[in-house]
Every structure is written in structure tokens, then in C-alpha cells.
């Protein structure tokens, strides 16, 4: 009896769950920490980095002006590219095959040609067209005529190359976001008599923003770093300013470190802003995932509010004879 009572006591005793040991993870983490600490020590103590020169130029007026130009290029190119890309995405979904095909050719060309080639092309546009003329088609009179060298400056060439290149990518992002919306939403809006533009603006695009915002946030960060390519056509942005300084002082590594530090700061800031915007557009989805059975009590209330069937109603129901 004593043995049976002891066995029953052992069976009902609570079990202690111990997590599985992973010594390899601790060893790998320790190795990574040691390598990181050694890299930081080597970087901080190496005199060839010239950290005093880095601190001297980090907040210099020339670097800050180049930083402002980088931000200006990023904002203007992204605004122009987003507006143009959204229009191209709508036209790409047009039932007109000619319009849709022309937009497809635009997207293909501007995504296929490297951005550096496009920047050089716009910078040397005057070699192909010395003057830009607006005239009546097929040999009509000239309406307006501008010298290409005055009209297409280095800033104009940079904005044209960046915005037109970005519009091709934004068009595909917006098109994918529009296609991600349930087609029943458009069909319901059409059944209510809403025009296509109003349906797109009030029904489709607000729902598509949840799929559009994350990749566009990544494109903003990519555009901020891509602006460094305009240094090839002598636009005074951050990298070009650093190059101009170290071409005069021969302090190449410290000035490149200064540019890298500012790019890291801008990327971190844009990442935080992207996360906040994504959280703003994903609030409804987060609430539904957090409480998926929110609408269940209402369904139960509607089902329980139906009046019970009486005996007389049951007697009037036809019965199938066997």
C-alpha cells in the first residue's frame, strides 16, 4: 500500500521543464564580441585614421552645406519620382493597350539603363540638342526656343536623372500595391456608381498604402545614398564636398569617414521615420491580429436574438415520407 501511494504521489507531482542548453550560441556570441571589441580598439588607436581631422571637419560649414544639398536632392527627387511613378502605375493598369504598353516601355528603359549613365546623358544633353525648341508639329512655326546649356544645368541634370529613374521603380511598387487590394472593393464601388478616379482615390489607394509604404521607405533610404552618384557631374552634395576638400588637403581617409558618419546618421533617422509611418498605416491590421475574435459576440447576439420556433410552426413543416 505504501508503494502504491508513493507511485501515485509521483505521478501527480508537477513536472519541471528545463530549457534546452545551447552552449554553441554562447561560444559564438563570445567570439563575435571579442572580434568586435578588437575592431573597435584597432580603429580607435590607429593614428592613420586621424580622428582629430575627422572632428575638425565633421561640423564644418562646407560639409554641412553639402549635407543640406544631399537632403534637398533626396526630398525633391523622391517627391517628383513618387508623383510621376503613381501616375505611371495608374496608366500601366489602364485597359488601353497602347497607353499600358508605352508605360511598360518607359519602365523597362529607365530600369535597364544604369543611373550613372542616365546622369551623364542628361549632363551632356546639349551635345545632342544645342537648343530645346517647342514648335507646332510637322514643320510648323517655332513657339519657344531655349539654349540647352542654360536650361539643363548640373542641378537640373541631377534632378532629371534621379527623379525619372526613381519613377520607374515607384511605378512598379504602386502597381503591386494596387493589385494587392481585393478586386471586390472596386466592384462594389462601381456598383455604387463611383467613377474610376474617385474609387482609386477613396477606396483603392488607402488600402494599398499598407503594401506601398514599406518599399517606398526603403527607396527613400536608397535615394539618399544614391545622391552620391551626382558627384560625377560636380553637384556639390556631401560626397562631392568631401572630395573637394581632400583634393586640396590630401586628407582622404578622414574626409571619407566624415561623409560615412553623416550617411549613417541620415540612414538611422530615416529608418526611425519609416518605422513610425509603417506603424501608422498598419494600426488596423495590428488590432485585428491582436484580437481576431472581436466580432464574434456580435454574431452570437444576432443568432440568439432570433425567436424560437413554436410547435405549430414545426407541425406545418412538410415531412418527407419514406
Domains and CATH numbers, the chain: 50-281 (1.10.3720.10)
Q: Mean of the pLDDT values across residues 220-238?
A: 93
Q: Would the pTM of this model clear 0.85, i.e. be above it?
A: no
Strand partners, 146: 132
CA angle 102, 107, 110 (to 5 degrees): 120
What would the mean pLDDT of 131-136 be, rounded to a whole number?
Answer: 76
Picking from 243, 263, 266, 265, the residue whose alpha carbon sits closest to that of residue 255 is 243
Evaluate whether 259 touches 80 at the Cβ level (below 8 Å).
no
Per-residue pLDDT tens over the stretch 149-193: 777 889 999 999 999 999 999 999 999 998 888 888 888 888 888
Residue 172: per-residue pLDDT: 94
Quickly list H helices, 93-193.
97-112, 115-123, 125-128, 148-151, 154-179, 183-191
Q: What is the pLDDT of residues 85-107, one digit of tens each?
A: 999 999 998 889 999 999 999 99
Q: What is the band of 129 on the pLDDT scale with cuts at 50, 70, 90?
A: confident
Predicted confidence at residue 320, as pLDDT, reads 47
pLDDT confidence band for 21 (50 / 70 / 90): confident
Amino acid at each position: 500500500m505504501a508503494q502504491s501511494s508513493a507511485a501515485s504521489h509521483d505521478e501527480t507531482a508537477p513536472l519541471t521543464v528545463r530549457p534546452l542548453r545551447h552552449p554553441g550560441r554562447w561560444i559564438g556570441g563570445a567570439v563575435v564580441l571579442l572580434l568586435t571589441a578588437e575592431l573597435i580598439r584597432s580603429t580607435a588607436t590607429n593614428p592613420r585614421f586621424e580622428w582629430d581631422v575627422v572632428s575638425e571637419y565633421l561640423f564644418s560649414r562646407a560639409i554641412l552645406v553639402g549635407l543640406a544639398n544631399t537632403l534637398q536632392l533626396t526630398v525633391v527627387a523622391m517627391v517628383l519620382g513618387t508623383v510621376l511613378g503613381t501616375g505611371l502605375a495608374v496608366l500601366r493598369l489602364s485597359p488601353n493597350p497602347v497607353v499600358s504598353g508605352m508605360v511598360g516601355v518607359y519602365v523597362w528603359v529607365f530600369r535597364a539603363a544604369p543611373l550613372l549613365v542616365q546622369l551623364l546623358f542628361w549632363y551632356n544633353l546639349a551635345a545632342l540638342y544645342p537648343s530645346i525648341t517647342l514648335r507646332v508639329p510637322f514643320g510648323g512655326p517655332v513657339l519657344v526656343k531655349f539654349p540647352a546649356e542654360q536650361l539643363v544645368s548640373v542641378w537640373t541634370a541631377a534632378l532629371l536623372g534621379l527623379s525619372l529613374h526613381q519613377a520607374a521603380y515607384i511605378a512598379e511598387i504602386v502597381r503591386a500595391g494596387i493589385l494587392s487590394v481585393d478586386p471586390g472593393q472596386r466592384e462594389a464601388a462601381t456598383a455604387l456608381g463611383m467613377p474610376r478616379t474617385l474609387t482609386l482615390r477613396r477606396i483603392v489607394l488607402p488600402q494599398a498604402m499598407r503594401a506601398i509604404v514599406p518599399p517606398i521607405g526603403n527607396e527613400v533610404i536608397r535615394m539618399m545614398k544614391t545622391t552620391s552618384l551626382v558627384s560625377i557631374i560636380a553637384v556639390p552634395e556631401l560626397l562631392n564636398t568631401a572630395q573637394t576638400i581632400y583634393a586640396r588637403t590630401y586628407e582622404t581617409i578622414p574626409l571619407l569617414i566624415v561623409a560615412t558618419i553623416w550617411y549613417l546618421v541620415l540612414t538611422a533617422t530615416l529608418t526611425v521615420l519609416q518605422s513610425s509611418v509603417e506603424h501608422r498605416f498598419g494600426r488596423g491590421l495590428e488590432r485585428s491580429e491582436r484580437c481576431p475574435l472581436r466580432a464574434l459576440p456580435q454574431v452570437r447576439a444576432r443568432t440568439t436574438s432570433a425567436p424560437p420556433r413554436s410547435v405549430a410552426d414545426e407541425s406545418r413543416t412538410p415531412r418527407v415520407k419514406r
